[in-house]
Copies of this chain bind each other. A is one copy, B any other.
Amino acid sequence: MHVSTIKQMEQYARENSGVISLSQGIPYMGSDPSIRDEVVYSIMQNKVDAYSDPQGLVELRDAISQKLQKDEKRYSPHEILITTGAVEAMAATLLAITTPGDEVIIPTPTYVSFFQITKTASLRAITLPLQEDKNWTLDCDLLESIITAKTKAIILCNPNNPTGSIYDKKTLLAITELAEKYNFFIIIDEVYKNMLYEDSKMYSITTDNKFKERIITIVSFSKDFSLTGWRVGFLYTSSALINMILPVHDTLVNCAPVISQYAALAALKDDERIIAAHLDAYREQRNIVESYLQKLTEYISWYKPQGSYFFFPKLLIQKDDSQFCLDLLQKQKLAIVPGSAFGPGGEGHVRICFGRNKADIIKGMERFVAYCNAL
């Protein structure tokens, strides 16, 4: 097992001057001043030095519970677990609910970390290629055909990284029916849930309480609030599942960093304003990237992302995505991610992040255009 291609790209960009990176999903904006003020205040009030309750600060779980209620999701503070980012939530969940050898279904292409954590937990990742020709939708008949007695869970990333696509209500309900029928869990990574464009709507199956025992939803503060370095996120599910996941979380990290929990608390106090400001910037940057891609219709094809901050264009000429990215890096000093890093169906594509800063995006896309035009 190696550190992901994404991080290798990012590291290369960090260590080699002149390289522009549109690879790792790092929001370019700094954290909001209101968050920083609250954090400094918490330090001075001696609130952050000692461990918190392993489940997380009660105030933070209260605040999350209230926010969820606004979205018609009824989860009490006991049904919420504060984690060291979304990846720790995923790790704790999988390690808690599975036994080595279990199968986990992963629709692909998707977030590369899902493969790493299934491997770490000694699970079998059963990949299910999404239908690219239908904007990366999931074929539920195909899903049913790969379910076995060992299927313990399906992992959905919604909106999906790297495709920027969203699972529709019908598909989500069909997956839930299959989960009921064959008795497996649904783990939903909703890290990009607040990054939706135009009239994209995201349906959430967790509004229906009857599936609570079966669905674990994972959310992060990293992307919406530019807090990737702070490592704080949460999950919500039934209290029975929380009781299974909490001891594993406790043994992995003890508790989420307390200072970051206060950052999250501050973020939620003014979340609508902060998220809207981020989204305005991403919307503009999404249009900028597309304006460049439109110059390249003979080299690539793409779907405009409904959510997230990624484009995932298909390569029409130089189809070897790894070679493409390496060449691009060498010739134009632009780091983006080869699609094959995201699992079956990802090969022959590249991922471009438009969450980075605008100047980098413009300069990067000019390099991208120059590279393609020289193919």
Contacts from A to B (Cβ < 8 Å): 1-4, 7, 11, 14, 24, 26-27, 30-31, 36, 39-40, 43-44, 46, 48-54, 84-85, 87-88, 91, 95-96, 99-100, 113, 116-117, 120-122, 226-232, 244, 246-248, 250-260
Q: Is the CB of B122 within 8 A of A122?
A: yes
Chain B residues near A121 (CB-CB < 8 A): 95
Distance in Å: Cβ of A97 to nearest Cβ of chain B: 12
Q: Is the CB of B31 within 8 A of A36?
A: no
| Cα distance A4–B228 in the bound complex, in angstroms | 30
Q: Is the CB of A84 within 8 A of B50?
A: no
Q: A251-B91, A253-B87, A257-B260 are in contact. Are A229 and B24 (CB under 8 A)?
A: no
- Interface core residue of A14, A50, A85, A96 (most chain B CB under 10 Å): A50
- When all copies of this chain in the complex are counted, the total is 2
Which 6 residue pairs across A and B have the least CB separation, nearest first? A229-B258, A116-B251, A100-B100, A257-B257, A1-B247, A231-B257
Q: Is the CB of B250 within 8 A of A230?
A: no
Q: A26-B50, A122-B99, A122-B122 are in contact. Are A87 and B252 (CB under 8 A)?
A: yes
Chain B residues near A254 (CB-CB < 8 A): 85, 87, 228, 231
| Cα distance A256–B229 in the bound complex, in angstroms | 8
| Cα distance A22–B26 in the bound complex, in angstroms | 42
Q: Is the CB of B255 within 8 A of A231?
A: yes
| Cα distance A49–B35 in the bound complex, in angstroms | 11
Chain B residues near A88 (CB-CB < 8 A): 84, 252-253
Q: Is the CB of B251 within 8 A of A120?
A: yes
Distance in Å: Cβ of A261 to nearest Cβ of chain B: 9
Q: Is the CB of A248 within 8 A of B43?
A: no
Q: Is the CB of B49 within 8 A of A39?
A: no
| Cα distance A228–B53 in the bound complex, in angstroms | 12
Chain B residues near A26 (CB-CB < 8 A): 50-51
Q: Is the CB of B227 within 8 A of A256?
A: no
| Cα distance A49–B122 in the bound complex, in angstroms | 32
A-B contact pairs, 6 of them (CB 8 A): A1-B244, A36-B44, A85-B254, A91-B253, A100-B122, A229-B259
- Name the one of B48, B85, B120, B247 contacting A95, with C-beta atoms under 8 angstroms: B120
Q: Is the CB of A3 within 8 A of B247?
A: yes
Chain B residue, CB-CB nearest to A99: B122
Chain B residue, CB-CB nearest to A55: B3
Q: Is the CB of A84 within 8 A of B84?
A: yes
| Cα distance A84–B31 in the bound complex, in angstroms | 21
Q: Is the CB of B50 within 8 A of A229?
A: yes
Chain B residues near A85 (CB-CB < 8 A): 253-254
